[in-house]
Structure 1
Amino acid sequence: MDWDKLRIFHAVADKGSLTHAGEVLHLSQSAVSRQIRALEESLSVTLFHRHARGLILTEQGELLFDATQQMVKRLDATAARIRDSEDEVFGELRVTTTTGFGTMWLAPRLPKLYKKYPSLKIDLMLEERVLDLPMREADVAIRMKEPSQADLIRKRLMNIKMRLYATQEYLAETGTPHSMSDFSQHRLICQHAGTAQVAAGANLVQDLMSHDIPSKLTVNNYFGVLQAVLNHLGIGVLPDYITVDFPHLVRVLPETESGEVPVFLAYPEELRHSKRVSAFRDFITEEIIAFRKEHHAQNLG
C-alpha cells in the first residue's frame, strides 16, 4: 500500500472530514478526496460512508484505521527515541497517574525536575483509568497496582496505606474520637465506596460507612478530600504519603487503616533507552528515597 495514501486516509479518519484533514495536511479538499478514492480503488473496498455531517468509517475502514493508528503510535515512539540526545534531556514526556497522587505528591516535586531539565515538556494526565502504555496512550505511568500489560518495564516504588486525618483546629473544636462510636460527633470525608480507587481504600471506606456516622462528605478523588480536611470540615480518609507535605495534620484512630497499596512505575520496553524516561525514572527514584527518609523520621518523632 502507498504510504502517502495511508497517511492521508489516517488524517481523514481521525478528523472525520476531508476539509479538516486537508487543513492538517496542507492539501486541498479535492486533492485529499482524489487520494482517498485512489486508495479505495486499489483495495477494491469502500472505506467511508459519505454523510451530510461528515464521513463515517465502514467496517473495512475501521480495520484499516486500527492498523494506521498503531503505525502512527509506533512511528511517534521511534521519532521520540531518535530525538533523544546523548547529552541532553528535552521534548515531551506524557506521564499518567491517579488524580490524588498526581496532585498531592508528584506535582509539588516537579519544580526540581524542571530545574534540572528546563527543556523537558511534561504532559501530566491525571485520571483513574489505566492508560494503555504499549499502545502509547502515555509514556510513563505511576499506578497503585502492579501493571498487568505485557512488554512493560516496571519498578516498585513504595507501599502506602489509607488512614484517617484531621486538622488540629477541627479536633480542638469537636474533640478527638477514641473509637468508632465517637464518630457520632464528627463528619467523615472520603471517596464514595463505588468511586474508582484502589481496592484497599474502597474496602476501608466500605467498612467505615457500615458504622452509624450521621454526617458525611464524599468526593470523587483524594485531592478533594484533602481540601475539605484542610478547611476543618471533618476527618478524612487520605493516603499516608500526604503527611510529609502536610505534617500539621493529625492522625485519628491510629488502629484504623487500610491494607498496603503498592505504587509502581512502568513504561514500555521500547522506551528503555529514552533519555527523557530515564531522567524521569531517576528523578522519581531519588524523590522516593528522600520521601522514605522523611516519612520514617516523622514516624519516629
Structure 2
Amino acid sequence: MDWDKLRIFHAVADAGSLTHAGDTLHLSQSAVSRQIRALEETLNTTLFHRHARGLILTEQGELLFDATKSMNKRLEAASARIRDSEEEVFGELKVTTTTGFGTIWLAPRLSKLYAQYPDLKIDLMLEERVLDLPMREADVAIRMKEPSQADLIRKRLMTVRMQLYAAPDYLASAPPLETIEQLVNHRLICQNPNSFQVAAGKALVEHLLTYEVPSLLTVNNYFGVLQAVLNKLGVGILPDYVVEDFPDLVRVLPDITSGDVPVFLAYPEELRQSKRIAAFRDFVQEEIQETRRNTRLIA
C-alpha cells in the first residue's frame, strides 16, 4: 500500500475536509482528491461519505483511520527517540497529571525546569482521565495510584494524604472547631463524592458527610477547593502538599486524615533513553526532595 496515499488519507480523515487537509499538506484540493480516489480504487472500497458540509468516514474508512492513527503514534515515538539521541534536551514533552496536582504543585515549579532547558516545549494535560501512555496520548504521567498498564517504567515519588485546612482569617471569625462534631457549624469544601478522585479522598469525604454538615461546597478538583479555602468560604479537604506553597493555611482537626495516596511517575518502556523524560523525572524528584526539606522546617 502506498505510504504517501495513507498519509494523505490520514490528514483528510483527521480534518474532515479536502481543503483543510490540502492546507496542512501544502497540496491543492484536486491533488488530495485524486490521491483519495486512487486509494479507494486500490482498496476497492469507499472510504468517505461526501456531504456538502464535509466528509464522513465510512465503516471501512474508520477501520483504516484506526490503523493510520496507530502508525502515526509509532512514527512519533520513533521520531522522539531519534531526536533524543542528541545530547541537548529539547522538543515537545507531553505531561499528564490530575488537575489538582498539576495546578497546585507542578505548574508553579516549571519555571525552574525551563531555566535549565529553555528549548523544552511542555504540553501539560491536566485531567482526571488516565491517558494511554503506550499509545502515546502522553509521554510521561504523574498519577495518584500505581499504573496498571503494561510496558511502563514506574517510580514511586511520594505519599500524599488528604487533610482539613482553613484560612487563618476564616478561623478568627468562625465558631470554634476543636472536635469533629463542631464541623456542623462550618461550611465543608470538598470534592463531590460522585466525582472522579482517589479512593482515600472519597472515603474521607464520605466519612465527614455522615456528620450531616448543613453547608457544603463541592468542587470537581482540588485547585477549586484551595481557592475557596483561601477566600475564607469554609474548611476544605486538601492534599497535604499544599503546606509548602501555602504555609499560612491552618490544619484543623489534625486527627482527621485520609489513608495514604501513593504518587507515581510513569512513562513508556520505549522512552527509557529519552533525555527529555530523564530531565523531567530528575526535576520532579529534586523538587519533591526540596518540598520534604521545607516541610520539615515548617513543622
TM-score (norm 1): 0.97
The C-alpha deviation readout for 1:199-224, integer Å capped at 9, x for no partner, is 11111111111212111111111001
Residue 161, structure 1, aligned to residue 161, structure 2 = yes
The C-alpha deviation readout for 1:162-189, integer Å capped at 9, x for no partner, is 0000011111111441222111221111
Write out aligned runs for 1:62-81 (5 A).
62-81=62-81
The equivalent of 2:231 in structure 1 is 231
SS of aligned partner of 1:257:
coil
Equivalents in 2 of 1:93, 1:262: separation in Å? 24
Equivalents in 2 of 1:70, 1:124: separation in Å? 22
The equivalent of 1:137 in structure 2 is 137
SS of aligned partner of 1:255:
coil
Measure how far apart 1:86 and its partner are: 3.0
SS of aligned partner of 2:149:
coil
- Moved beyond 4 Å, runs of 4+: none
SS of aligned partner of 2:157:
strand
SS of aligned partner of 1:290:
helix
Partners of 2:184 and 2:211 within 8 A in 1: no
Q: Judge which range, 174-183 or 229-238, deviates more.
A: 174-183
Partners of 1:187 and 1:215 within 8 A in 2: yes
The equivalent of 2:278 in structure 1 is 278
Q: What amino acid is aligned across from residue 235 of structure 2 in structure 1?
A: I
Measure how far apart 1:85 and its partner are: 5.1
The equivalent of 1:242 in structure 2 is 242
The C-alpha deviation readout for 1:11-70, integer Å capped at 9, x for no partner, is 011011111111111111111111111111111111111122211111111111111001
The C-alpha deviation readout for 1:212-245, integer Å capped at 9, x for no partner, is 2111111111001101111111100000010011
Residue 108, structure 1, aligned to residue 105, structure 2 = no
Q: Judge which range, 215-224 or 48-57, deviates more.
A: 48-57
Equivalents in 2 of 1:175, 1:244: separation in Å? 27
Aligned length: 299
Partners of 2:97 and 2:142 within 8 A in 1: yes
The equivalent of 1:261 in structure 2 is 261
Partners of 2:11 and 2:21 within 8 A in 1: yes
Q: What amino acid is aligned across from residue 214 of structure 2 in structure 1?
A: P
Q: What amino acid is aligned across from residue 207 of structure 1 in structure 2?
A: H
The C-alpha deviation readout for 1:136-183, integer Å capped at 9, x for no partner, is 111110010111111111111011000000011111111441222111
User: Superposition RMSD on alpha carbons, in Å?
Assistant: 1.1
User: Between the two proteins, what is the percent identity of the paired residues?
Assistant: 73
Equivalents in 2 of 1:159, 1:176: separation in Å? 31
SS of aligned partner of 2:87:
coil
Q: Which runs of 5+ in 2 are unaligned?
A: none
Equivalents in 2 of 1:235, 1:115: separation in Å? 37
Q: Which runs of 5+ in 1 are unaligned?
A: none
The equivalent of 2:26 in structure 1 is 26
Write out aligned runs for 1:1-301 (5 A).
1-84=1-84, 86-298=86-298, 301=299
Partners of 1:186 and 1:235 within 8 A in 2: yes
Partners of 1:45 and 1:60 within 8 A in 2: yes
